[in-house]
Amino acid sequence: MKSLVIYKSKTGFTKKYAEWIAEKLSADLYDYNQINKELFKGYDVVIYGGSLHAVGIEGIKLIKDNLDILKGKKVVVFAVGASPFREETVEEVKNNNFNKEQLEQIRFYYLRGGFNYNKLPFFDKLLMKLLQWKLKRKKVLTADEKGMLNAYQKPADFSRKENIDSIVAYASSSENK
Ligand SMILES: Cc1cc2nc3c(=O)[nH]c(=O)nc-3n(C[C@H](O)[C@H](O)[C@H](O)COP(=O)(O)O)c2cc1C
């Protein structure tokens, strides 16, 4: 089976997961900016990874707008965020980005990445400064919020190679949605 892995990453976490997946599957690997939809035609499996921004998957339009071309192929989408893996997070991201029909064609996964404030582009830095300011003013912080605040001082990396196992297993199986 010929596999294609595409990623859209701002600080490198999604890119790293995409590289791990592509290596395991001997897949071709492309950055989002190198892609045109004609490329999809040569593949049986298309895997798209995008970082998570305000519960939205970066660049997901590329997949959603081309589901007709992707018909009959195995389509996998993974989102990479800083939040810990929790079933409710996965459900929230899934429902925020896809409708029922799209989910019949797409298999979705959430992978935990990390947070690296220094590597963010200017505008994202600004947004995250606002969040930091909001968090600092809160009287009671959840454990996740405390972790987030600490990550502004020191980059946090929760990515683990074994997190790709279920994607690799599905992509290389004969199972299709
Ligand atoms: C503006 C902004 C919004 C974000 N929103 C979320 C979010 O809703 N959920 C989450 O888990 N992480 C969120 N993050 C954290 C990133 O998803 C996380 O750092 C991810 O690992 C980045 O992947 P990348 O390095 O491939 O871009 C946000 C980061 C930024 C800059």
Q: Which atom of ligand 1 is nearest to the CA of 127?
A: 1
Condensed to tens digits (0 to 9), the pLDDT of residues 24-43 reads 999 999 999 999 989 999 99
Three-class DSSP category at 71: coil
Tell me how far the alpha carbon of residue 81 lies from the centroid of ligand 1, in angstroms.
Answer: 5
Report the mean per-residue pLDDT for the chain. Answer: 96
Condensed to tens digits (0 to 9), the pLDDT of residues 101-132 reads 999 999 999 999 999 999 999 999 999 999 99
Fold for 3-115+157-172, please state it.
Rossmann fold (3.40.50)
Condensed to tens digits (0 to 9), the pLDDT of residues 144-164 reads 999 999 999 999 999 999 999
According to the model, what pLDDT value does residue 44 have?
A: 96
Q: Which residues line ligand 1 (CB under 6 A)?
A: 9-15, 51-55, 80-83, 113-115, 120, 124, 127-128
Condensed to tens digits (0 to 9), the pLDDT of residues 80-100 reads 999 999 999 999 999 999 999
Quick one: pLDDT band at residue 176, thresholds 50, 70, 90? confident
Quick one: pLDDT band at residue 12, thresholds 50, 70, 90? very high
b (16+ CB within 10 A) / e for 147-164: bbeebbeeebebbeeebb
Amino acid letter, residue 13: F
- The protein residue whose alpha carbon is closest to atom 19 in ligand 1 is 115
According to the model, what pLDDT value does residue 175 have?
A: 80
142 burial via Cβ count (<10 Å: 0-12, 13-18, 19+): exposed
